Structure formats: structure tokens, C-alpha cells
Amino acid sequence: MAGKYESLFDYLSGNQNQSIRLTFSKIEQILGDGLPPSARLHPEWWANDRTSPGRQSQSWLRAGWETYDVDLASKKVSFVRVGSTSE
């Protein structure tokens, strides 16, 4: 998936942490572009949607991350590395 969210893929791919919390402003800085209004209004925009190949979620899912704790009020989202917990 090349496109607007590829730089988010690159950023998360290079991150060594098990989880990370980013502000929407930081994500826009990473993207070099603004998030769409729906990202600020609808938590569903941040869903870990594996079924739609064109969705922005593919940028973090392909990098091995999932979103959780989307806080629209504080404009922050947390990402956790998939499989980061020990069983």
C-alpha cells in the first residue's frame, strides 16, 4: 500500500517499543499531511480493519501494530505491537 499512510507504516515499523501513544498532531507530522475530519470525529476510523485493503488501518496492521484506546477528546491514539504479550 503506497500512499498517504505509508510514512506511518515506516514510522511504526522502525519503532522498537511494545506500545506507543501518539497525538493526532504527531501522526500528521509523520504523514506530512492532515488527518481527515472523520479521524477526529469517529473512533471507527481507527478500527483495526483487516478486510478493506485500501483503508488507513493497513498502514499499522502491516507494520505489526493494532490501535487501542482511541481518545477523540484528547486527540490521542495508542498502538500496541501485535503479539507483544507473553502467553
pLDDT tens across 35-62, in order? 999 999 999 999 999 898 778 999 999 9
| Cα–Cα distances in angstroms (integers) from residue 10 to residues 6, 37, 52, 72, 81, in the given order | 6, 23, 20, 24, 14
CA distance 25 to 64: 22
Which 3 state secondary structure label does DSSP give 39? helix
CA-based nearest residue to 57, from 84, 29, 38, 83: 38
Position 87 confidence tier, pLDDT thresholds 50, 70, 90: very low
Verdict on whether the full-model pTM lies above 0.85: yes
Mean pLDDT, rounded, for 10-26: 97
